[in-house]
Amino acid sequence: MVSRQPSRILHVDGDTFFASCEMALDASLSGKPVWVGGGRRGDGIVIAANREAKSFGVCTGMACFEAKRLCPHGVLAKPQYDEYRRLSREMFQIMEQYTPTLVPMSIDEGFLDLTTMRSHVWRDTTAAGYVNGLRARIEEETGLPVSAGLGRSTWMAKLATSVAKPGFVEVPPDSEKEFLAGRYVRELAGVGSRRERSLLVLGASTFGDVARLPSTVLKQKFGIWGHQLWLFANGQWNEPLLLEVKDRTTISSSTTLPYDEPEYEAARVFALSESTRLIGQLRREGLQAREMSLAIRFTDFTENGATHRFDHPQFRNSTVNGMLEQLFDETMTGHMQSVRQIRICFNNLKPLDTQPTLWGTTDAERWGALDEATQKLEGQWGDGVVLSGTQYALRYKDAVHSNPKAKCPFVPSREMAQKLWGEKLERLGCHHHSN
């Protein structure tokens, strides 16, 4: 059902999020060029850089030694993923207080539906005052600067954010066509190099060019997306933000490792940790997956992947992670290069219609109860607090080596481990190594 008034969708995005997290955690980094990344052998890559570092030419994906050459006085920060996730949760908790409809898109960005806020909350203030108040509160309480864009569709809001960075831009209703006219189509999320080339063939490099084309031409070339693009370019695309579970078909994670990981088992642990996190997201959203896929990109930029379709929709750690290990073995077979990027995707999502009991009468129910307990522990103590036997064995092996290789960063802190295992940790002779 279409809203009677134009939708007002707000996009909020963290500014250089990982680097901003580091500055929020360490006040001495303020004003300094900072990038996040690195590896023990000096062959790591930059996964985030603040604006000061970018002014020297440092950019995401660059080798850390090249970043140091460009900016010798800059600071390399090793990733602290647990802290990044904690700050992300705090940021989203603040946003939840500003609208009943919030859709997180990644660790540092989300969409908020502000359509009804004018009559109920804004009152005599402006949208800019409301949004900038939200931005100021996030920065004050978390130390994280964020940018924002407001429009009547997710497309417009996200584009407005990219124009605003750093800051806030509102695109009022009925002014979209003028705002877009001179902007390049490649600025729109979802327009990759292939679509850009196809549009250039039609003589369209800007949204103004797209608006002048017949809509039938775009629909014939790109299908429904082409028609939507034409409506968008002409300021006619009104897109309410919906939260219907049935419309959610995919949950995924794509992570570039902070260093090229040469060890097979360490990459496996990383993949299992990400899978467990995504399974937790499935549970929180009341979903289960019919299909899962794994893709791994190597340091030579080759890529391999595998997909599995379950006989029945799944949401249990034991079942899903067991299959993930099989997909991992299949994907890694024949490859000798270090791992650079891991992508995991749960597809064909269905509403979760099973509620495991605490004490089940079948193996499936008992495994479900165990998974539920694991999720609660991770919710209280953080990701990675519960390890499988394989994960713990790997951790123990790393601990007794004086010069361990790069390892998955998603492991419990020593303080957390001490609370859980106490003196057992010391008797095992384990010593904590931070990345």
Residues identified as active-site: 109
Give the burial class of 318: count Cβ atoms within 10 A of its Cβ; 0-12 exposed, 13-18 middle, 19 or more buried. middle
> Residue 93 CB: number of other CB atoms within 10 A?
12
Q: In a 3-state reduction of DSSP, which class is residue 252?
A: strand
Describe the crossing of helices 215-222 and 193-201 by its angle, rounded to 10 degrees: 140
User: How far apart are alpha carbons 344 and 271 in whole angstroms?
Assistant: 8
Are the CB atoms for 342 and 271 separated by under 8 Å?
A: yes
Are the CB atoms for 7 and 240 separated by under 8 Å?
A: yes
Which residues make beta-bridge pairs with 341? 256, 297
User: How far apart are alpha carbons 39 and 46 in whole angstroms?
Assistant: 10
Contacts of residue 326, defined as CB under 8 A and 6 or more positions apart, other chains included, come to 308
Query: Nearest CA to 271 among 289, 287, 288, 295?
Result: 295
SS (H, E, C) 6-42: CCCEEEEEECCHHHHHHHHHCHHHCCCCEEEECCCCC
Q: In what order do the strands lie in the sheet with 34-37?
A: 46-49, 34-37, 75-77
> Residue 424 CB: number of other CB atoms within 10 A?
11
Ramachandran region of residue 316, left (φ > 0), alpha (ψ -120 to 50) or beta?
beta
Helix (H) or strand (E) holding 75: strand 75-77
